[in-house]
Amino acid sequence: MAKSILKEWAGRFRSEATGVSAKTEWADQLTRARNAGPRMTNQTTIDPARHGPGTLAVHAGTYNDPITGAVGTPVFAATTFLFQKESYEAFDQGMIRDYPIYTRYGNPNQWAVQEKVAALEHAESAIVFSSGMAAISTTLLALTNKGGHIVTARDLYGGSYNLMREDMHQFGREVTFVDPMDIDAITAAVRSNTEVLFFETLTNPLLKFAPVKALAKLAAENNIFLVLDNTFLSPCCLTPVDDGAHVVIHSGTKYLNGHSDLIAGTAAGSRKYLDMIWAQMLKLGGSLNPQDCAILERGMKTLALRMKAHTENALALAEWLSRHPAVARVYHPALPGYPYPWAAESLTRGSGGMVSFEVKGGDKAGLKLMENLKLVHAATSLGGVESLISMPFNTSHSSLIDRQRREVGINPGLMRLSVGIEDIEDLKADLDRALGAIGDIRQ
* Residues designated as active site: 104, 157, 229, 254
> What is each CA distance from 319 to 196, 214, 324, 357, 427, in whole angstroms?
37, 29, 9, 11, 13
Could you tell me which of 7, 103, 32 has the C-alpha nearest to residue 272?
Answer: 32
Following CA atoms 404, 410, 411, 417 in sequence, which dihedral angle do they give, to the nearest 10 degrees? -160
Residues 6+ apart with CB under 8 A from 27: 21, 143, 272, 273, 276
Helix (H) or strand (E) run with residue 431 in it: helix 424-436
Q: How many residues does the chain have?
A: 443
How many other CB atoms sit within 10 Å of the CB of residue 235?
A: 31
Contact 111, 39 (CB under 8 A): yes
Cα–Cα dist 363/300, whole Å: 36
Listed in sequence order, the DSSP H helices in 203-361 are 212-222, 271-284, 290-300, 303-321, 342-346
Residue 176 φ then ψ, to 5° = -120, 130
- Helices 132-142 and 271-284: crossing angle in degrees, nearest 10, is 110
Using omega within 30 degrees of 0 as the cis cutoff, is the peptide bond preceding 290 cis? no
Query: To 5 degrees, how large is the angle CA 212–CA 213–CA 217?
Result: 115
Cα–Cα dist 43/36, whole Å: 13
DSSP codes, 208-249: PBP-HHHHHHHHHHHT-EEEEE-TTT-TTT--GGGGT-SEEE
